[in-house]
Chains A and B, each alone.
Chain A
Amino acid sequence: MKILEKVQQWLQTYPGWEDSLTVDMIPSGGGNAGLFPGGVVEHSRREDILGNRQVRCSLSFALRRQAAVGEDNRDHAAWLLDFQQWVGLQSLAGLTPRLGDVPQQETMQAEKGSLQRVSSTGIGTYTVTLTANFIKLYEEN
């Protein structure tokens, strides 16, 4: 299964998830969410004397969720905070999707959840940044 599919499937196991999830777009109207991949960043590369290589990477996504906003949006803010906490607990328990080759050193964080903008029709876009850190191994034959 490809990385994007793994992340999508895992996100939809969140108990508070009721939205559809698309990639690189959000269908108009409230109650929808979009996953926007931010690309892989390589942080370091190490090689052992056998020629095996280890690359530390991170992969980030912006998760954007739309909801109708009014005068009091506590429910939406609470959803964000609860979701961030859920991601943290999933990572600690080793339940986040496996993206690399060293499972015990993988982490996933959900950070900076906030209301980004409100449309003229009263649809708010909430954004949270998901960052996965993992290690890829390349073994020399």
Chain B
Amino acid sequence: MAKIARKYLVHYINAAEPAAEAAVYERLGKDLEEYSPELAAQVESKKNILGESSVLITGYEKTAAVEPYYAEEGSALFQRLQAIIDGNLVLDDLNTDVVDVKLWEAAEGGAYPAVKETAFIEVTSYGGDTTGYQIPFTLHFTGNKVVGTFNVSTKTFTPAQ
């Protein structure tokens, strides 16, 4: 069985403002050598008087760091991040969604299996070194997921029926 290359798990972030009618998805990953959402599962372990252990995993507090992120002119995601910095935006103004697309699966009409999850953007810092203007950020996921498909040509997500 062959390993799945990293480039086949693709991540799109919605760069449109929360009030926008349509999502504007941009692919995450340029200059990003690693993107690994941490699930941070909530684990409860108990041991009974018989010495038996039981484990309960009751939820997740998933976060993902995007670092480095290099600002690019014309990028909707850059504009969104810059607006957060300029306006000290908080609460629902930081709302977004991220779609994980599985390119190793078979596509139907150009659409691949995908899962969309809402998240909040936390801009960690801005500026960086002389390699370019950087705005690293962290995504805090809410756990609200929708299964569907994602068309990589039209960059649209369609929920499953």
State the A residues within 8 Å of B (CB): 46-52, 104-105, 140
* Interfacial chain A residues near B34, Cβ < 8 Å: 49
* Interfacial chain A residues near B130, Cβ < 8 Å: 104
User: In the bound complex, what is the Cα–Cα distance between A97 and B39 (angstroms)?
Assistant: 48
* Interfacial chain A residues near B30, Cβ < 8 Å: 48, 50, 52
* Interfacial chain B residues near A49, Cβ < 8 Å: 6-7, 28-29, 32-35
* Interfacial chain B residues near A46, Cβ < 8 Å: 33
- The closest CB in chain B to the CB of A50 belongs to B29
Interface contact B27-A50, CB-CB below 8 Å: yes
Cβ of B31 under 8 Å from chain A: yes
* Interfacial chain B residues near A48, Cβ < 8 Å: 29-33
Q: Apart from A49-B7, A49-B35, A51-B7, what are 13 other A-B pairs with CB-CB below 8 Å?
A: A46-B33, A47-B33, A49-B29, A49-B32, A49-B33, A49-B34, A50-B7, A50-B29, A50-B30, A51-B5, A51-B6, A104-B130, A140-B7
Sorting the interface of chain B by its residue count into under 10, 10 to 19, 20 to 34 or 35 or more gives 10 to 19
Chain B nearest CB, measured from A60 CB (Å): 24
User: In the bound complex, what is the Cα–Cα distance between A91 and B97 (angstroms)?
Assistant: 44
User: In the bound complex, what is the Cα–Cα distance between A47 and B7 (angstroms)?
Assistant: 10
Chain A nearest CB, measured from B9 CB (Å): 8
User: In the bound complex, what is the Cα–Cα distance between A134 and B82 (angstroms)?
Assistant: 30
* Interfacial chain B residues near A50, Cβ < 8 Å: 7, 27, 29-30, 32
User: In the bound complex, what is the Cα–Cα distance between A46 and B35 (angstroms)?
Assistant: 14
- The closest CB in chain A to the CB of B7 belongs to A51
Query: Beta-carbon contacts of B1-40 to A below 8 Å, as 1s and 0s?
Result: 0000111000000000000000000011111111100000
Chain B nearest CB, measured from A49 CB (Å): 4
User: In the bound complex, what is the Cα–Cα distance between A101 and B33 (angstroms)?
Assistant: 19
* Interfacial chain B residues near A51, Cβ < 8 Å: 5-7
Chain A nearest CB, measured from B31 CB (Å): 6
Chain B nearest CB, measured from A92 CB (Å): 13
